[in-house]
Structure formats: structure tokens, C-alpha cells
């Protein structure tokens, strides 16, 4: 199968599972914002973020190595899966035993988010279980994808989301468990999703209790270990905004910021569908790689900017539909966050080059620079510009990481960037942000015109890609 056609085919399959599932979760926002107060909503996201921080620490980041080593034909799949399974199991046991130690460690961080030590200790076991079940689900999910079982991967995405919705309704609406119910719904769905993959993909036959190739395990750890601080640095970039907003402005503003970030997740949603398929193609398609990466990036960036312009234009309508009136004010923070997520997606694309070349250390260093810049800019901008100061700090940080990765990856893949088009796209979406946030006269008209211009500017790239794929298919 032609590499472009294979990429499109896998993207469509992932779209069935990912898009349908993510859209359903996206539509849960009205439930969350009506059942949970702005303060509770901020707390639930903090707990989930803390869990996501603990996962790479207790697993030594081994989940990051599953897809990379699972795709290699000369490595036994059982060595890859068994290494990941026992690493996560050991980490889960250690984390459970360290619960008394975690309270004094996490309490200062939680207190920055206006959460008491008592609240930390009450939810600590929930945090530990969330981290363990999430890591196990990620292991099975990524391993299934590495084996090329893309349809099962998509089906599991739908199942996991359906379960999350079901248990959210039970725990939040029926039982009214609040913050605990929110996290417990994710835990329950992750556990059942893991069981589903384990038996449907017959994963038990890849679980070896002896005879594991320790050379493969060591190689996986060498690849994964630099990604632990890399994950932490991404966490810093994503969470330092919320920590500092809560510290400078209060937990209620943090809740508004969290709600505002849900709208740009439409961009993350579209990019995630593509990213799952792209990671497989980036590693397996080696012939004509420079041209392949160039064509895919130019098409991908065009799609991202078109989607960003559309989301900015309709963000106030989306906020009105998806959140309660108490959260409506958060629309002011959405436009800049949309542009931020656009650069987030392009940064991830450049990161796929590091994955292909097993240059995880480079990924860590570039992310560390972005994290440092983010903290510095948050301290400077939040006191002056409020919540939008945090959004601008994140945008500048991701822009910096993107530019550094563009320069650094040139020695591995020669991508011919269309700099003029990228600059024009960026200027247009930032202009659209300004017009909407400042509510200049006739801003709806001007924003609509910008969106039309964005479509005309980028549609040519998409049509050329579509014609090439169709031409190859006909041939």
C-alpha cells in the first residue's frame, strides 16, 4: 500500500474511535460545569494532573517506549510487553507503599492550588489507583497499536469513552460523589478498558515470567528514562499556568481557565487522530523520508490553522452551549489558547522525528527550555494581564520549543517549511484573537473574513495532497 494512502487509511480508522469517543467526552462539559462548582472543577483537574505526573515517575516512563520498540520487526513483542507490564506493576506497588511519604511531598504543591493537606490525604489512595490503572491502560492501548491492530484500538477508544460517560452519570448525577466521583469514573473505565484489551487482543500470550531479553529491557529504559523529565517539563508547562493563576488570582479563576482550555481541545482532538497514525508511518516509511515529512507537515499545519481560525470564530457560541452561565466569562481566554494548541500540535509533530531516531534526550532538552521560559513568562505576565497572561506565556513557550526543534531536527530529516505561509497564518489568527478579545466594532464580520481568507490560503495545499493520493490510488 502507498505510504500516503496507508497514512490516510489509518487516520480514518483512528478517527472512528478517537473522534467519536473524544466528542462524547467533550459533550460531557455541560454535565461537569453544572454538577461541579468552578472550584471543584479546578480541583478535579488538579488531581488528574497530579496522577499524570506520577505515572512516568513510577513506571520510569516505560509506556513511552512501547510504541517505538513494539514497531520494530527484529524485537520480540513479548519482550516489549513483559518489560512494560512488570515495570508498571512494580511501580504501582512502590507507589502504594509510599503513600505516607507522598502527603508531605504533595501538600505544598496542593496548597498552592488552595487545597488543604487534609484534602490531599483523603484523596491520596484515589490518586494512586488512578495512576496505576491509567498506566496499565496506556500499556495495553499502545501495545495493541504497535501490533497494527488499529481497528481494535479504535473500538477500545469508543468503549472506554462510553464507560466513562456511564460512570460519570452514575457517580456524579445519581450518587452525587462530586470530586471523588469524577476521578473514580475515569478509574473504573480505565480498568474495564484494560480487561477488554487484555482478552480481546490475547495479550496474556505476550506476558513472559522468565526468559525476557534483558538487552531489550535495557534499551527500552535508555530510551524511556530521558522522557521522564521530558514529561515532567510538559507537565510544568501545562500546569504552571494553573498553579500561578490559583496563587495570584484564586481557585475560581483557575476553574475558568480549565474550562476555557476544553474548547481548544477540539484542535488537540483532530491532531490526536492524525498523530496516532503518523507515529506508525514516521517509523515504518523510510524511503523518500524528507519529501514525505515535508508534504505531511505542510498539509498538517494548513489543517491546524484552518481549524484554529474556525474554532476562534465560533468559540463564544461553543462556550454558550457547552458550559453553564457561571463559566461563560472564560470565552475571553479561549482565542489565545487555541493558537497555543496549534503550536502544541506542531511541536508534537517535530517530536516524532526524535521518536524515529530514538533521540529522547533531545526531546527532553528542548522541552526543558520551554518549561523554563513558561515559568519566567507566567511570573511576568499573569500579574499584568491576568488569566490571558498565562495563555500568552504558554503560547510563547510552545513557539520557542517549535523553533528550536525545527533547527535541531534538520540533521535527521530535511523538511522544507513554507515559512511565508506559516507566518501569514500566524499573523491572521493572532489578528482574529485581538479583534474578538477587544470586541472591536463589527468584530464578527472581520473575524469571519479572516476565517474565509485562511480557508482560501490553505485549501490549495489540501487539494494538492488529495489529488496525489487519489492519483496513486487510481494508478
Tens digits of residue pLDDT in 81-106? 999 999 999 988 988 888 777 767 66
Q: Is the pLDDT of residue 244 over 60?
A: yes
- Give the pLDDT confidence score for residue 195 in this predicted structure: 94
Are 119 and 180 found together in one domain?
A: yes
In this structure, how many other beta carbons lie within 10 angstroms of the beta carbon of residue 254? Answer: 29
pTM, entire model: 0.73
Last residue of a domain, one of 225, 253, 268: 225
In this structure, how many other beta carbons lie within 10 angstroms of the beta carbon of residue 407? Answer: 9
Are 200 and 290 found together in one domain?
A: no
Are 219 and 232 found together in one domain?
A: no
Are 231 and 206 found together in one domain?
A: no
Are 294 and 210 found together in one domain?
A: no
Count up the domains in the chain and report the number. 2
> Which helix or strand (DSSP H or E) is residue 78 part of?
helix 77-97
What DSSP assignment string belongs to 285-332?
--TTHHHHHHHHHHHHHHHHHHHHHHHHHHHHHHHHHHS-GGGGGGGG
Are 334 and 281 found together in one domain?
A: yes
Beta carbons within 8 Å of 256's beta carbon, 6+ residues apart: 38, 327, 329, 330, 333, 387
- Rounded Cα–Cα distance for residues 16 and 139 (Å): 21
Nearest-Å Rg of the Cα atoms of the chain is 22
- Give the pLDDT confidence score for residue 467 in this predicted structure: 64
Are 179 and 269 found together in one domain?
A: no
- Rounded Cα–Cα distance for residues 341 and 370 (Å): 14
Are 95 and 125 found together in one domain?
A: yes
User: Could you tell me where the beta strands, DSSP code E, fall in 12-143?
Assistant: none
pLDDT tens for each residue of 107-150: 666 555 555 555 556 677 888 899 999 999 989 988 998 888 87
Are 375 and 450 found together in one domain?
A: yes
Q: Is the pLDDT of residue 470 over 90?
A: no
Last residue of a domain, one of 225, 260, 281: 225
Enclosing domain of residue 355: 227-475
C-alpha cell at 393: 506565556
Last residue of a domain, one of 206, 225, 244: 225
The H-assigned helical ranges of 211-250 are: 214-224, 227-249
Q: What is the mean pLDDT of residues 160-172?
A: 87
- Give the pLDDT confidence score for residue 431 in this predicted structure: 94
Q: Is the pLDDT of residue 474 over 60?
A: no
Are 411 and 428 found together in one domain?
A: yes
- Rounded Cα–Cα distance for residues 313 and 451 (Å): 7
Would you call 104 helix, strand, or coil by DSSP?
helix
Amino acid at each position: 500500500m502507498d505510504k500516503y494512502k496507508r497514512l490516510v487509511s489509518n487516520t480514518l480508522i483512528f478517527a472512528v474511535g478517537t473522534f467519536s469517543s473524544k466528542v462524547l467526552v467533550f459533550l460531557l462539559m455541560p454535565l461537569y460545569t453544572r454538577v461541579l462548582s468552578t472550584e471543584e472543577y479546578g480541583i478535579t483537574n488538579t488531581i488528574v494532573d497530579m496522577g499524570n505526573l506520577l505515572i512516568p515517575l513510577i513506571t520510569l516512563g516505560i509506556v513511552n517506549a512501547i510504541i517505538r520498540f513494539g514497531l520494530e520487526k527484529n524485537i520480540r513483542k513479548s519482550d516489549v510487553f513483559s518489560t512494560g507490564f512488570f515495570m508498571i506493576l512494580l511501580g504501582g506497588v512502590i507507589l502504594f507503599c509510599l503513600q505516607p511519604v507522598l502527603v508531605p511531598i504533595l501538600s505544598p504543591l496542593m496548597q498552592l492550588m488552595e487545597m488543604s493537606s487534609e484534602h490531599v490525604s483523603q484523596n491520596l489512595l484515589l490518586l494512586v489507583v488512578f495512576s496505576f490503572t491509567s498506566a496499565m491502560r496506556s500499556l495495553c492501548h499502545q501495545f495493541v497499536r504497535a501490533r497494527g491492530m488499529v481497528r481494535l484500538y479504535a473500538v477500545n477508544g469508543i468503549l472506554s469513552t462510553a464507560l466513562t460517560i456511564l460512570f460519570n452519570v452514575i457517580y456524579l448525577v445519581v450518587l452525587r460523589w462530586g470530586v471523588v466521583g469524577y476521578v473514580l469514573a475515569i478509574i473504573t473505565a480505565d480498568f474495564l478498558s484494560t480487561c477488554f484489551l487484555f482478552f480481546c487482543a490475547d495479550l496474556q500470550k505476550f506476558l513472559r515470567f522468565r526468559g525476557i531479553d534483558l538487552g531489550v529491557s535495557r534499551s527500552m529504559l535508555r530510551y524511556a528514562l530521558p522522557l521522564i523529565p521530558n514529561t515532567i517539563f510538559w507537565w510544568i508547562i501545562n500546569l504552571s499556568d494553573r498553579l500561578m493563576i490559583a496563587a495570584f488570582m484564586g481557585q475560581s479563576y483557575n476553574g475558568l481557565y480549565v474550562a476555557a482550555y476544553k474548547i481548544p481541545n477540539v484542535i488537540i482532538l483532530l491532531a490526536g487522530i492524525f498523530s496516532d497514525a503518523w507515529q506508525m508511518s514516521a517509523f515504518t516509511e523510510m524511503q523518500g523520508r524528507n519529501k514525505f515529512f515535508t508534504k505531511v507537515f505542510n498539509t498538517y499545519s494548513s489543517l491546524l490553522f484552518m481549524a484554529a481560525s474556525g474554532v476562534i470564530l465560533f468559540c463564544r457560541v461553543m462556550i454558550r452551549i457547552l458550559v453553564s452561565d457561571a463559566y461563560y466569562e472564560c470565552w475571553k481566554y479561549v482565542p489565545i489558547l487555541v493558537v497555543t494548541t496549534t503550536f502544541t500540535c506542531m511541536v508534537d509533530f517535530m517530536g516524532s522525528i526524535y521518536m524515529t531516531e530514538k533521540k529522547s534526550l533531545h526531546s527532553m532538552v528542548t522541552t526543558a527550555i520551554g518549561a523554563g521560559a513558561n515559568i519566567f513568562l507566567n511570573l511576568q505576565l499573569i500579574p499584568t494581564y491576568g488569566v490571558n497572561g498565562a495563555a500568552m506565556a504558554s503560547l510563547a513557550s510552545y513557539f520557542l520549543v517549535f523553533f528550536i526543534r525545527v533547527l535541531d531536527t534538520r540533521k535527521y530529516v530535511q523538511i522544507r517549511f513554507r515559512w511565508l505561509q506559516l507566518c501569514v497564518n500566524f499573523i491572521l489568527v493572532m489578528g482574529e484573537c485581538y479583534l474578538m478579545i477587544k470586541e472591536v466594532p463589527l468584530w464578527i464580520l472581520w473575524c469571519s473574513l479572516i476565517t474565509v481568507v485562511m480557508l482560501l490560503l490553505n485549501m490549495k495545499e489540501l487539494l494538492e495532497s488529495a489529488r496525489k493520493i487519489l492519483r496513486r490510488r487510481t494508478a
